[in-house]
Amino acid sequence: MADRDSPNINVGILTISDSCYNGSATDRSGENLKHLVETGKLIKGTVVTKDIIPDELDQIKAKLLHWSDHLKLDLILTTGGTGFAHRDVTPEATKAVLEKEAMGLTVAMLKGSLDITPMAMLTRLVCGSRGSTLIINLPGSTKGSSECFQIASVAIPHAVDLLRGHKYQVERTHSALQAEHNLSQHGHSHGHSQEKLHSSSGLPRSRHNSSGHQSSRMSPTALPHPPLLNDGDKGNNHHHHHHHRCHAHSKSVISPVVKVYCLFYVS
């Protein structure tokens, strides 16, 4: 659930699909993203505008420029046009308007996808910013776009705060991450102190794994990841790619390690 204390995020949702534009397919992915934003399940936001355009490079660029420079949206989510089909040009159009590329967001979504299928290496998602607007490419399938949005949503509010210069919110996030890091470090030190106490007193020691930590702890690599799909059917059977098996995780699990990394790598 989104943080209710964070500022509201103004969102634009852009479906890029020839079939949706000409009416031969229904824009399921765009409507689903709109629903996710409006229900506040992932971020605290309002869908200010939503549109469907064909897979035309110039039209995509023009729409992204208008929404960034004139409407000055906080966040633009595109869905569709990120595959290998001849008409898939969303990444190229997005790169043409970006001022800064956000590889971290792209890598996070790619990693989640590769945890499910090696075919995810074919995805071509692009993320970045123009002015104070964050632009994120999502797959065209309803499932793939919602799951990628779920992963990116962890960092979206903080990214928007940084782009908008919301100093109080930025400092609040950093303080929370630092406090959690300190708590984690304290617990780690306490665990080692307990181990030394048991060793010196001759009391039986708790079972540990080879790394010296209690075996009941789950390692960060053992945490489940939300499943992702590649660009599939562009959300509306626009392109037919591979059909992949997906796990049924409905909530993202963010480990303390990931949150600590955010503290040092997201300034």
247 inside domain = no
253 inside domain = no
Query: Reduced to 3 states, what is the DSSP secondary structure of residue 86?
Result: coil
- Cα–Cα dist 5/161, whole Å: 12
The segments of the chain whose pLDDT lies below 50 read 197, 203-204, 206-267
User: Which range marks the domain in which residue 159 is found?
Assistant: 9-166
Give the dihedral sign, CA 254/116/231/130.
positive
Give the pLDDT of residue 183.
72
Give the pLDDT of residue 166.
72
Query: For residue 141, what is the domain's CATH number?
Result: 3.40.980.10
249 inside domain = no
226 inside domain = no
Cβ neighbors of 196 (< 8 A, separation 6 or more) are: none
- Cα–Cα dist 221/196, whole Å: 27
Give the pLDDT of residue 210.
41
Give the pLDDT of residue 215.
42
Q: How many domains does the chain have?
A: 1
Per-residue DSSP letter, 80: S
2 inside domain = no
Predicted confidence (pLDDT) per residue in 107-116, tens digit: 999 999 889 8
State CA 208 to chain mean position distance: 35
Give the pLDDT of residue 9.
98
Give the pLDDT of residue 51.
99
Identify the residue whose tokens are 């992963």.
151
121 inside domain = yes
Query: Reduced to 3 states, what is the DSSP secondary structure of residue 104?
Result: helix
241 inside domain = no
- Residues 92, 57: contact at Cβ < 8 Å? yes
Q: For residue 136, which of 78, 82, 60 has the smallest C-alpha distance?
A: 78
143 inside domain = yes
- Cα–Cα dist 173/153, whole Å: 15
Cβ neighbors of 228 (< 8 A, separation 6 or more) are: 109, 112, 113, 115, 116, 120, 139, 144, 147, 148, 151
- Cα–Cα dist 25/3, whole Å: 35
Give the pLDDT of residue 57.
99
Give the pLDDT of residue 193.
53
